[in-house]
A and B are shown apart, each in its own frame.
Chain A
Amino acid sequence: MNNHKLTRNLYMVPYAVWILLFVIAPILLVIYYSFIDIQGNFSFANYEKFFTPVYLKMTLSSFWYAFLITLFSLLVAYPTAYLLTKTKHKQLWLLLIIVPSWINLLLKAYAFIGIFGTYGVANSFLEVIGIGTQQLLFTDFSFIFVSVYIFIPFMILPIFNAIDTINPVLLDAARDLGASKWDTFRRVVFPLTMNGVKSGIQIVFIPALSLFMLTRLIAGNRVITLGTAIEQHFLVTQDWGMGATIAVFLIIAMFLIMFLTSGFRKRGA
């Protein structure tokens, strides 16, 4: 019995070391640096600076863009996942949708620069149908479009799994009790897939908050998110303290969202 406990603790060692070195230590470092100002002294200056309109506005716009990206991902992913579960070779179709997520994000971003550029495919098409060349790259539209494109597979997967595990007899039961197709969806299918939707929101919203390469490549720095700001502070202005402070708020936001999307589960359970 004791021996068994010992081996179990032994197995825990790699995990504990990993968590300590790569999760807890970095977070402590981030918190430590957030209290160091640009001259290297301990101060609350960074936090004071965060609550100035410049940074608050940046935070707000970060949340706004992350919200839009999550919303559009969800709007596209839910019906897609729903239709996927109805197809004959659903696992194959799912794989085809997942495959693009294996390609590096930067490669996809560069591909979109080609597509959305002034002489790109998208503009050639607009020219043909008579609308004429438009400025597509470096706009809010292109930023959200490309982000949604990148995040969609991550949103589809948990929703697909949630829909796929619904017992089909429940749908028969709803129909049997007089529910129309819409009633069945609203009262049975959607509530039963809420957990999948929540997982999808977590997987998309939190990374969307800290997107940074896309803001430069696709949005041409016209969209500044918290992620961009952190990158700029660490690599360009070398103000590690301010970068760390923003990171602290990002971490807080992540925990908040985790709490909001999983905390409600108690009511449904």
Chain B
Amino acid sequence: MSNTIIQFQNVSKQYDEDSLVLDDVSFEIERGKFYTLLGPSGCGKTTILRLIAGFTEATKGDIHFNGKKMNHIPANKRQVNTVFQDYALFPHLNVFENVAFGLRIKKMKNSEIKAKVEEALSFVNLSGYGDREIKDMSGGQRQRVAIARAIVNQPEVILLDEPLSALDLKLRYQMQGELRELQRRLGITFIFVTHDQEEALAMSDEIFVLNKGTIQQSGTPNDIYDEPINRFVADFIGESNIVSGTMIQDYLVEFVGKQFTCVDKGMNKNEPVEVVIRPEDLEITSHEQGMLQIKVSSQLFRGVHYEITGNDKDGNEWLVHSTKSVNVDDDIGLKFEPEAIHVMRFDETEEDFDKRLDSYSEGDANEQS
């Protein structure tokens, strides 16, 4: 398919005698979308970026760019530009010359360089800043210079290595919006690396969640948030209550000593599973009416909601987001819909997981007809 721009085939990467940084990773990147590689530090996300940029070579496997193998093509010959974590702007050049760097290498005419650099600077709202020195620019401005320096070369893919991590919270929110906007306007493929799950959810068309050198799950932000494949993803993306349980039969799961109706099926009878319920899916009711009973141990006011934690009689901790306030040490009940229960099998591959989810929607369709 011509829409695929980058393809990883069974790529592994190992430095010296250390363990694998990337373990047999395969995926495809489509043209014009905003991708995020999300994971904790050391999960291999930056290594993937460096492999695409050409700063390092794969130990095993093939990397294709526009259908051509590019394992051994040096970094300076690739149609890819990077926005580095600490921007990596050249301190001896001013803003204009930093942005013009790539064009000067291409020996472009001066008048052409001037026009292109000014266009790129206006794209990132830095018109008129060309003569400034880098050290006179603020963090957010340096960030924009780095982006301008990447887009001015009109690459097919822009790689962003945690570019917002050095900014303060408010500026980070603003830049998230601006980056997303910029990507839509330019129509260039963005591959964004971050360990911040909120950032990933807010900006991406598609997220790859990585851990220990493998892709745990890929999908749209909604898919990943609503249907996490395993404990790691559920825990890493958003906040969740995870308890162990048993799948009694299709649509029936047992946890904390009770049986609940759910929407999951296709598992073995009495298979041990893990159950995820998002804190915002739990609703507070009276002790008697609740499907679960907990004793409140703390309550924090978070502005939009109260964050309530409590323990059931088995000692499981439950996190609840609610607009209602309760009192510490109260006994309260919790209610939830069958759809709020997400059942995760142990060691399920992404392929099997996708198949299982697909079968639900088919099943729903059959029931309705």
- With an 8 A cutoff between CB atoms, is A48 at the interface? no
A59 and B205 alpha carbons, distance in the complex (Å): 73
CB proximity of A175 to chain B, nearest CB, Å: 4
Most buried by A among B74, B81, B90: B90
A268 and B106 alpha carbons, distance in the complex (Å): 24
Q: Which chain A residues border B101 with CB–CB below 8 Å?
A: 174, 177, 179, 187
Q: Which chain B residues border A175 with CB–CB below 8 Å?
A: 54-55, 74-76
- With an 8 A cutoff between CB atoms, is A167 at the interface? yes
- With an 8 A cutoff between CB atoms, is A14 at the interface? no
For A178, give its contact among B84, B85, B92, B106 (CB under 8 Å): B106
Please tell me if the beta carbons of A177 and B55 are within 8 angstroms of each other in the complex: no
A176 and B54 alpha carbons, distance in the complex (Å): 8
- With an 8 A cutoff between CB atoms, is B88 at the interface? yes
A169 and B133 alpha carbons, distance in the complex (Å): 19
Q: Given contacts A176-B53, A177-B101, A178-B106, is CB(A192)–CB(B86) below 8 Å?
A: no
Q: Which chain A residues border B81 with CB–CB below 8 Å?
A: 176-177
Kindly supply a per-residue 1/0 record for chain A positions 159-179, scoring 1 wherever the CB is within 8 Å of any chain B CB and 0 otherwise.
000000001011011111111
Within 8 A of B (CB), among A215-244: none
Q: Given contacts A169-B86, A172-B55, is CB(A177)–CB(B102) below 8 Å?
A: yes
- With an 8 A cutoff between CB atoms, is A183 at the interface? yes
Q: Which chain B residues border A176 with CB–CB below 8 Å?
A: 53, 55, 75-76, 80-82
Kindly supply a per-residue 1/0 record for chain B positions 49-81, scoring 1 wherever the CB is within 8 Å of any chain A CB and 0 otherwise.
000011100000000000000000011110011
Please tell me if the beta carbons of B102 and A178 are within 8 angstroms of each other in the complex: yes
- With an 8 A cutoff between CB atoms, is B91 at the interface? yes
User: Looking across the interface, which residue of chain A has its beta carbon closest to that of B77?
Assistant: A178
A105 and B55 alpha carbons, distance in the complex (Å): 46
Please tell me if the beta carbons of B84 and A169 are within 8 angstroms of each other in the complex: yes
Q: Which chain B residues border A188 with CB–CB below 8 Å?
A: 90, 92
A179 and B199 alpha carbons, distance in the complex (Å): 32
- With an 8 A cutoff between CB atoms, is B144 at the interface? no
Kindly supply a per-residue 1/0 record for chain B positions 318-349, scoring 1 wherever the CB is within 8 Å of any chain A CB and 0 otherwise.
00000000000000000000000000000000
Q: Which chain A residues border B75 with CB–CB below 8 Å?
A: 172, 175-176
Q: Which chain A residues border B80 with CB–CB below 8 Å?
A: 176
For B92, give its contact among A167, A173, A177, A268 (CB under 8 Å): A268
User: Looking across the interface, which residue of chain B has its beta carbon closest to that of A181?
Assistant: B76
A-B CB contact pairs (8 Å), 27 listed: A167-B88, A169-B88, A170-B88, A172-B53, A172-B55, A172-B75, A172-B82, A172-B84, A173-B82, A173-B84, A173-B89, A174-B90, A174-B101, A175-B76, A176-B81, A177-B76, A177-B101, A177-B102, A177-B153, A179-B76, A179-B105, A183-B76, A188-B92, A192-B90, A192-B91, A268-B92, A269-B133
- With an 8 A cutoff between CB atoms, is A43 at the interface? no
User: Looking across the interface, which residue of chain B has its beta carbon closest to that of A175?
Assistant: B75
A169 and B74 alpha carbons, distance in the complex (Å): 16
Taking residues whose C-beta sits less than 8 angstroms from the other chain, chain B's interface range is 20 to 34
- With an 8 A cutoff between CB atoms, is B13 at the interface? no
Q: Which chain B residues border A180 with CB–CB below 8 Å?
A: 76
A88 and B82 alpha carbons, distance in the complex (Å): 28
A175 and B55 alpha carbons, distance in the complex (Å): 9
- With an 8 A cutoff between CB atoms, is B278 at the interface? no
Kindly supply a per-residue 1/0 record for chain B positions 32-62, scoring 1 wherever the CB is within 8 Å of any chain A CB and 0 otherwise.
0000000000000000000001110000000
User: Looking across the interface, which residue of chain A has its beta carbon closest to that of B159?
Assistant: A176
Interface size on A, residues (CB 8 A): 20
Closest 9 pairs (CB-CB, A-B): A177-B102, A173-B88, A175-B75, A169-B88, A178-B105, A191-B92, A176-B82, A178-B76, A175-B76
A269 and B85 alpha carbons, distance in the complex (Å): 23
Q: Which chain A residues border B104 with CB–CB below 8 Å?
A: 187
- With an 8 A cutoff between CB atoms, is B149 at the interface? yes
CB proximity of B65 to chain A, nearest CB, Å: 15
A178 and B53 alpha carbons, distance in the complex (Å): 11
Q: Which chain B residues border A174 with CB–CB below 8 Å?
A: 90, 101
Please tell me if the beta carbons of B53 and A170 are within 8 angstroms of each other in the complex: no
CB proximity of B32 to chain A, nearest CB, Å: 21
A185 and B156 alpha carbons, distance in the complex (Å): 26
A170 and B93 alpha carbons, distance in the complex (Å): 12
Please tell me if the beta carbons of A173 and B90 are within 8 angstroms of each other in the complex: yes
Q: Which chain B residues border A187 with CB–CB below 8 Å?
A: 101, 104-105
Please tell me if the beta carbons of A192 and B74 are within 8 angstroms of each other in the complex: no
A173 and B102 alpha carbons, distance in the complex (Å): 10
Since A169-B84, A172-B84, A173-B82 are in contact, a sample of 18 more A-B pairs with Cβ atoms closer than 8 Å, ordered by chain A residue number, is A169-B85, A170-B88, A172-B82, A173-B90, A174-B101, A175-B55, A175-B76, A176-B55, A176-B80, A177-B76, A178-B76, A178-B102, A178-B106, A179-B76, A179-B101, A179-B105, A187-B105, A188-B90
Within 8 A of A (CB), among B98-115: 101-102, 104-106
Please tell me if the beta carbons of A192 and B92 are within 8 angstroms of each other in the complex: yes
Q: Which chain A residues border B74 with CB–CB below 8 Å?
A: 175
Q: Which chain B residues border A191 with CB–CB below 8 Å?
A: 92
A42 and B149 alpha carbons, distance in the complex (Å): 66
A183 and B75 alpha carbons, distance in the complex (Å): 13
A179 and B91 alpha carbons, distance in the complex (Å): 17
User: Looking across the interface, which residue of chain A has its beta carbon closest to that of B100?
Assistant: A177
CB proximity of A79 to chain B, nearest CB, Å: 21
A179 and B75 alpha carbons, distance in the complex (Å): 9
Most buried by A among B54, B75, B85, B149: B75
CB proximity of B56 to chain A, nearest CB, Å: 10
CB proximity of A166 to chain B, nearest CB, Å: 10
